[in-house]
Amino acid sequence: MVKIHPLNTATSSPDGSANANPLTQALRATIQLREMILAGEVQGGARIAEMSLVELLGVSRTPIRQALMKLEQEGLLDELPQGGYAVRIFSELEASESIELRGVLEGMMVRLASERGYAPSLMREAKRLLGQIDEILKSNVLADEAFSKYIDFNARFHDVLVDMADSPFLKKELARIYKLPFASPSGFVGVQFDSEFSRDLLVVAQDQHRQVLQAIESKEGTRAEMIMREHSRIAQRNLRLVANNVSHEQMPVAKLLKKRS
């Protein structure tokens, strides 16, 4: 459950009065509202009431409106014809296409890293993260703490791969895709935790991690690209699992996925 606290961004002006930085408030409101949506605390399809957010987050309507516009641009909200916004519900096809697009962009970026070269420090960091993941996967059963660490290391590994391409434009586009509820590198890892095949899937993913680094080092750009596209298929498998079997208690964000009739 996400804990919501009023946004205290007031600063003191020279005369001692309190001023609030609207940009800072909008950013923090965006982060907190995004967390609420992804935690399943806001019903999919529900209309967002500006005034309730003003009271809940403790800010004025201007930063709230900026936050809503930002989340609409990210794809988490739909703008309503009569005005206002509603939490977006994703079809299984839309979620699948988001994952596919992530695989395409990540694949393109590792290919660019192979072809253009990369900072050696990034390769060292990627290998260090793989070593940390290896330590976690030595256990046949992953406890909560170990699984939490895996999610962190996995996300950081993907970030390092992206940095290797040294493309601010593509990095920005990929970051936008990562914000979609089913498209981030760790978006479905929570589903695997409750699966009897969880560790096996993570071992497969780890092998793909290692293979893509080898391909980048060997300047095999096409091979690196294909490995990353294949890597995203693990998320596709988990999407089907969520669509058919996973409860909202296991994965609250599944509330945003439209069930097939």
**217-252 pLDDT, tens per residue?**
999 999 999 999 999 998 888 788 777 765 555 566
Which of 102-111, 145-154, 195-204 bottoms out in mean pLDDT, i.e. has the lowest? 195-204
Same domain, 50 and 80: yes
Over residues 166-183, the mean pLDDT reads 91
One-letter amino acid identity for 196?
E
CATH number assigned to the domain comprising residue 189: 1.20.120.530
Residue 2 lies in a domain: no
Over residues 140-159, the mean pLDDT reads 85
HSE of 4, CA atoms in CB hemisphere, 13 A: 20
Same domain, 155 and 199: yes
Which pLDDT belongs to residue 10? 41
Of 170 and 22, which is predicted with more confidence?
170
Same domain, 125 and 32: no
Same domain, 62 and 159: no
Which pLDDT belongs to residue 255? 78
Same domain, 152 and 247: yes
Residue 49 lies in a domain: yes
Same domain, 74 and 110: no
Q: Measured between alpha carbons, how far is 230 from 222 in angstroms, rounded to an integer? A: 12
Over residues 156-177, the mean pLDDT reads 95
Over residues 102-115, the mean pLDDT reads 97
Q: Is the pLDDT of residue 145 over 60?
A: yes
Same domain, 99 and 82: no
Residue 261 lies in a domain: no
- Residue finishing a domain among 55, 87, 119: 87
Same domain, 187 and 146: yes
Q: Which domain holds residue 244?
A: 92-256
Domain total in the chain: 2
Q: Measured between alpha carbons, how far is 216 from 254 in angstroms, rounded to an integer? A: 35
Same domain, 18 and 112: no
DSSP 88: -
Q: Which residues contact 153 (CB under 8 A, 6 or more apart)?
A: 129, 132, 133, 136
Same domain, 127 and 235: yes
**Alpha helices for 117-220 (secondary structure H):** 120-137, 144-164, 168-178, 189-193, 198-217
Residue 79 lies in a domain: yes
Which pLDDT belongs to residue 22? 56
Which pLDDT belongs to residue 251? 64
Residue 201 lies in a domain: yes
Same domain, 213 and 251: yes
Which pLDDT belongs to residue 113? 98
* pLDDT tens-digit map of 11-20: 333 333 334 5
Place of tokens 């967390």: 35
Tokens in use for 196? Answer: 């009897």
Same domain, 210 and 102: yes
- Residue finishing a domain among 72, 87, 102: 87
- Residue finishing a domain among 25, 59, 87: 87
CATH number assigned to the domain comprising residue 30: 1.10.10.10
Which pLDDT belongs to residue 232? 92
